[in-house]
Amino acid sequence: MNFFLRLIVGSVLLGSVALAQNPLQDAYYIIHSYHRMYEGTKDNVRFYMADTSRNILDDCMEIVASEIESWSNRVATCKNWSPRNTEAIGNALRDCAMQASQTVYNIHNNVYDELEAMQEESVQLQFAVVRHLRNFNILEDYADFVEDFQSVVNVAYDRLEHHFVPRLEDALEPILEAESTLPQQTQTCVNAISRKFRSLC
């Protein structure tokens, strides 16, 4: 899962050597380096989660839709079929689809909890940077300013790498598992319904 971390590492390291020797511009850069680190990571997580979840749900919905189509073709040959049977199997297949959707929804909630914690951390870090600014006359103490603020950025990056990224990896692990298991579970659900209602034909 470290693919999104590597993207952030590259952008942060590239930016860290791009100070313009302009105190005000550099102050602006350092403050927003926090934002880039944290927001960049969150954006990558959201993109990965949305893309993967969409593929999983597409697979699950295709399984359900295929079974609906199969029953639509089969009904004409079922001697004992009634409108109530149609409603019952429709509700049962809907439940299979809803189970898949609920599983993905629960995974999303867990990931969003971690992203919310990151957001709070990012805000606090930016406040810390502003507080640090009060300790410097950056026009007179520019070298100390750069050294001190770069150390703050390094601490923030370490926090991102060793605290938040592992927690995000743990939160995203179920979506990786769901890529293979959830379509199988949906197929099992659909097969059970098919066996149950086939006895009516």
Are 120 and 104 spatial neighbours (Cβ–Cβ below 8 Å)? no
Mean pLDDT value of segment 150-165: 81
Go through the domains of the chain in sequence order and give each one's CATH number: 24-199 (1.20.1270)
Are 23 and 146 spatial neighbours (Cβ–Cβ below 8 Å)? no
How many CB atoms are closer than 10 A to CB 139?
A: 9
Output the average pLDDT for the chain: 81
pLDDT of 132 strictly over 50: yes
Does the pTM surpass 0.85? The reply is no
pLDDT class of 14 with cuts at 50, 70, 90: very low
CA–CA dist 149, 29 (Å, integer): 10
Q: Which residue has the higher pLDDT, 177 or 78?
A: 177
Residue 145's identity, in one-letter code, is F
Output the pLDDT for position 92: 94
Output the pLDDT for position 8: 40
